[in-house]
Amino acid sequence: MVQFSAILPDFKGLIITLEHMRLRLIKRLGSGAYGVVYLAYDNSLPSKPTPYAVKCLLKHPKESDYHHLQQREIAYHKAASAHPCVVKLHGVIEEEHYLYLILDYCPGGDLFSAIIDHGMYVNDDVRVKRSFLQLLDAIHGCHDLGISHRDLKPENILLSGDGSRVYLTDFGLATKAKLSASFGCGSSFYMSPECAGADVSKRPFVTSISDIWALGVILVNMITGRNPWHIASTQDTGYASYLVEGKPYLQRMLHISRGAVDLLSRIFVDNPAERITIHQLRAAVIEIDTFFPTAPNLCPPVKTLLSSSRPVGSVDITDCLRVGTGASDAAEVKIVDIRPISSPDDNDKITVPKNIGTPPKAFTPVGDESLFVNASDSLFTDDSGSDSESSGPVTPQTRAVAIPSPNISSLLLEFPEVPPDIAVRLSERNSAARRAQDASLTMKKRKLPRSWERFVQRIKVRV
């Protein structure tokens, strides 16, 4: 994946101006695939400097796809900035080689840090409900403008200094297309089944309804500090179990209240047409009594769900490499996101094909680990075609096979009693396997390979 942020220069100390603002970039807050974010102060009033966040981007040629995506992100973010729960985009400064997006500064960091690093939502129904309702209002406001976010996750939700307010940000994958065929768009943990596209024969899906699925996964993150599955596909053992068990799977894996289970079961509906709406979801969240189990010791704190061999601060949900927290001076975020260079809905128009295709074959999950971790592109492509010629159907007339039918006597199998020491070892091995599967759904990070780090270093040296 292209990492433009790796070749950007160090902007620390740079002074930029926008109308009455005179911004000085003080320190680097984090970086993503396409840009770097700095903390800046407006010194137009020396007696009261105002903090801002400045997102620095590489300026692309006007005829390129990257330029089109940049302009689309800016336009959608500007349109949504009027909502009180969206990070405000104050303006854009264009230079010969770089773009600077002037944004509100959110000193509370992102929602991921609030969940994992600070345990802000553990057994706190009031805070969970308040923050989630604010997020719902932000998404509702975007949908009213015809904008679907398509990349909802805790890393794209920022907090105020005291954590009482949440703000939606990063419209890099947003679209105004009501229907989309951009499958695999976003982060795997938060993709809806129709967006993943592996089990629906690549049918175009409604983007706003897909956002609701991601909201459900974020709610699970806030309550439990973990994910319900790796990706919503039958090739994922966790999601396949949910399709078979339903509510009992959520109760068993997440240890949440019955009210929360009922609510999530209305969000995690495989058929988008039957999924809960934004209005219904808001009313249900308001009415719920508690998200946490009432019986003691059923809901362990977030930090106890993490592997004891890893520090809490190093744990991430998906596609991120983090050092420190979003609010600390040494904080740095390197988000590895998934952004299509071009897609059928870039111009917000799409033609629905007449022949959508036949339903996929049933899949039987095998093994303990998810087959969709680091999913390959083959899972999002149609392999129904074939280059080889068929010699015709196989029938008893074309390929007759004589099948003997021997007389098999009844077998009586007697299993010897397992020695106590072997039984103990088998039990410990099964328990370890269950713990490993359980830990795989904990909010965690995926580090970039060292080969990529060396490649980035070479680019920096050459630049």
Distance CA 118, CA 357 (A): 47
Distance CA 281, CA 267 (A): 8
Helical H segments across 81-157, by residue range: 111-116, 125-144
Tokens read off for 429:
């091995």
Q: Is-contact 87 106, C-beta < 8 A?
A: yes
Distance CA 219, CA 227 (A): 10
Q: Is 12 annotated as a binding residue?
A: no
Q: Which residues pair with 99 in a beta bridge?
A: 57, 94
- Annotate 294-315 with DSSP letters as a single string: SSTTSS--GGGGS-TTS-GGG-
Annotated active-site residue 151? The verdict is yes
* Catalytic annotation, pick one of 42, 110, 117, 151: 151
186: left (phi over 0), alpha (psi -120 to 50) or beta: left
Helical H segments across 288-439, by residue range: 420-439
Distance CA 86, CA 84 (A): 6
- Annotate 398-419 with DSSP letters as a single string: TS--------PPP----PPPPP
Q: Is-contact 52 90, C-beta < 8 A?
A: yes
DSSP state of 380: G
Tokens read off for 431:
């328990």
The secondary structure of the chain in percent helix, strand, coil, rounded to multiples of 5, reads 35, 15, 50
Classify 95 as helix, strand or coil: coil
Classify 70 as helix, strand or coil: helix
Tokens read off for 387:
């280059």
Burial (CB count within 10 angstroms: exposed 0-12, middle 13-18, buried 19+), residue 21: middle
Residue 187, C-beta contacts closer than 8 angstroms, at least 6 positions apart: 151, 153, 317, 318, 319, 337, 338
Distance CA 183, CA 44 (A): 46
- CA 131 distance to own-chain centroid: 18
Catalytically active residues, by annotation: 151
Q: Which residues are annotated as a binding site for ATP?
A: 55
